Copies of this chain bind each other. A is one copy, B any other.
């Protein structure tokens, strides 16, 4: 649809933390962390996610396919292969794709009755 796909092939999110507890009906109000991936190219994006921790070696890659001209709002909670991401643990992530994509980071924190939301564009690089 677009002349040139928009984005970069390498992204990083230095913040990561899936709260242990939630309030409200699942799955909408379950505490979660999301990487919103947008693929505006005409081919499927093969995406690899590597997860970094504070006290052990990185885990990954987690492999995801974002179809052509689609967005995928990927919950880190749902990643299970090679292993689930533990809750209540600091982590960070690097997201690499074989076509340009755009990545935005969002967390819903419903540990309290009044949920909190955060979002930011991820860090992109062409290197």
Which residues from B are CB-within-8-Å of A36? 14-16, 90, 92
Contact A103 B58 (CB under 8 A): no
Interface size class for chain A? Answer: 35 or more
As a 0/1 sequence over residues 98 to 115 of chain A, the CB contacts with chain B under 8 angstroms (1 = contact) are 000011111101011111
**CB <8 Å contact, A71 and B90:** yes
**Residues of chain B lying within 8 A (CB to CB) of residue A15:** 34, 36, 73, 104, 106, 119
Q: Do B52 and A12 touch across chains, with their CB atoms under 8 A apart?
A: no
Contact of A113 among B1, B102, B112 (CB under 8 A): B112
Q: Given that A94-B40, A116-B117, A127-B6 are known contacts, is A73 also in contact with B58, CB under 8 Å in the complex?
A: no
A54 touches B38 (CB 8 A): no
A2 interfacial by beta-carbon distance below 8 Å = yes
The reply to whether B50 and A2 form a contact with Cβ atoms under 8 Å apart is yes
